[in-house]
Structure 1
Amino acid sequence: MRILIVEDNVDLLDSMKMILQNEFTVETATDGEDGLFLAMQNIYDVILLDVMLPEINGFEILKKLRNEHIMTPILFVTARDALEDRVSGLEMGGDDYLVKPFQAPELIARIRALLRRSGNLTIDHTIKYRGIELFGKEQEIKIDSNLVKLTNTQYELLEYLIQNSGKIVTKEQIFDRIWGFDSDTTDAVVEVYIHHLRKKLERYGYHKDIQNVRGIGYILKAPKES
């Protein structure tokens, strides 16, 4: 699971990152412009968004994302606790609101609730697709009740495809999600890992679910019966 934190208070930003990084992959931005750029890549499972930000405020970031039909769950994290601010954020398409100061358990609980609501997490921290189950905390996978070994990268790739099952994901989105913007490789690596993942799934008949979308990327869905 990948989380973006957009917060201009560096001490608070570091604190939230420390709280979350044992359970999630965390990326950060300290101003609205950088936060918007990262959020527009649409590779995050949740965005933690301050309202009062340099360059572009949190409400404007939310508006721009929703206008682009990017529906990543957004948790506003802000000291602005006036009722009208909370209502405005939710009415504009925000998903939840957490007022500073807050305790670590509440932050984690709210993120997990958003992930469950979006279908990316179950109560027992698993994600499922047909006969495939991914156990997030242990990074284990079962296919039709059989325990299957995957590398960390293969696991992250399958997790991302399942989270977006039925949707087209571009090679660029996959690359940015799994390898990151500052990777010293190229997006050609995506094809290599898709090939390896298909080989792992072939024994159980799920390899054809990872379908090519010519010139764009891939989609995970059950193949049509011929």
Structure 2
Amino acid sequence: MRILLVEDEKKLANFVKKALTESAYAVDVAASLEEAQTHAADGVYDLMILDVMLPDGSGFDLARWMREMEFTGPILMLTALNSTQDKVKGLDSGADDYLPKPFALEELKARVRALLRRHGGATTTSNLKFSNLEMNLVSREVSRGGEVLKLTSKEFALLEYLLRHGGRPVSRMEILEHVWDMSFDPGSNVVDVYVNMLRKKVDAPFDKKLIHTVVGFGYELKERA
């Protein structure tokens, strides 16, 4: 699942992103209203976490804009403003929940899980499927042919990215940037290592292989005779 985090306090943004990434969410960070609007226009998000006080506007305005742009996923507001009036303003602007600062990361993650459950897990679907491989984004369960596969958080995030692009080759650079949030390093083999680990669980026990190498480029999910 992909989350847009809009927070101009760099240290806090890094803490929140790290916590969510460790829970296998893909997280993009924006530090301003303008940057958030650019991200929102370019990508599809399952949930948004918005700080109220931004350098070029307010999270209230951003939430209202997102609803006008027909974003139907959950919005969680983060703010040091903790009066009843501020909470009402946030909810009226389109937010689904309101978390005052300071907060515990475990509570933040619990609220994210609850919001995703209430909204069916995603803005589009809570299930991803390719051939007989299925992923439930809410329960975080993966199965193939009815057999449950036990994946690590990073394996889950990698497979989710491949499933979201099923039938289309994705480059190692794309995978590094979206799953590891790393710039492309031609000397790194982390993607290949994790793909091999994933293959042992997704493909090795089955006759039909789904994860294929695109030589000199990356990987793709594809059914081959």
Distance 1:28 1:41 in 2: 13
TM-score (norm 2): 0.62
Q: Which residue of 1 aligns with 2:90?
A: 89
Q: Which residue of 2 aligns with 1:2?
A: 2
TM-score (norm 1): 0.62
Matched, 1:156 2:180: no
Could you tell me how far 1:138 is from its partner in structure 2? Answer: 11
Matched-pair contact (CA < 8 Å) for 1:156–1:178: no
Aligned residue pairs: how many?
Answer: 176
Distance 1:138 1:60 in 2: 32
Relative distance call for 1:39 and 1:105 in structure 2 (3 A) is: same
Could you tell me how far 1:91 is from its partner in structure 2? Answer: 1.8
Matched-pair contact (CA < 8 Å) for 1:75–1:98: yes
Distance 1:198 1:177 in 2: 17
What amino acid maps onto 1:197 in structure 2? L
Relative distance call for 1:120 and 1:139 in structure 2 (3 A) is: closer
Could you tell me how far 1:183 is from its partner in structure 2? Answer: 8.0
Relative distance call for 1:79 and 1:182 in structure 2 (3 A) is: same
Distance 2:10 2:81 in 1: 18
Relative distance call for 1:30 and 1:129 in structure 2 (3 A) is: closer
Distance 2:109 2:140 in 1: 19
Could you tell me how far 1:70 is from its partner in structure 2? Answer: 1.6
Matched-pair contact (CA < 8 Å) for 2:52–2:60: yes
Matched-pair contact (CA < 8 Å) for 2:5–2:49: yes
Distance 1:60 1:47 in 2: 14
Structure 2 spans left out of the alignment, 5+ residues: 167-173, 185-213
Q: Which residue of 2 aligns with 1:15?
A: 15
Task: Spell out the pairing of 1:114-133 with structure 2 (5 A cutoff).
Answer: 114-120=115-121, 127-128=126-127, 133=134
What amino acid maps onto 2:135 in structure 1? L
Q: Which residue of 1 aligns with 2:27?
A: 26
RMSD across aligned positions (CA): 3.9
More deviation, 149-158/71-80: 149-158
Could you tell me how far 1:72 is from its partner in structure 2? Answer: 2.7
Distance 1:87 1:197 in 2: 46
Distance 1:27 1:146 in 2: 32
Q: Which residue of 2 aligns with 1:73?
A: 74
Residue by residue over 1:58-80, the C-alpha shift from the partner in whole angstroms, topping out at 9 and shown as x without a partner, is 11111111111122311001111
Matched-pair contact (CA < 8 Å) for 1:6–1:28: yes
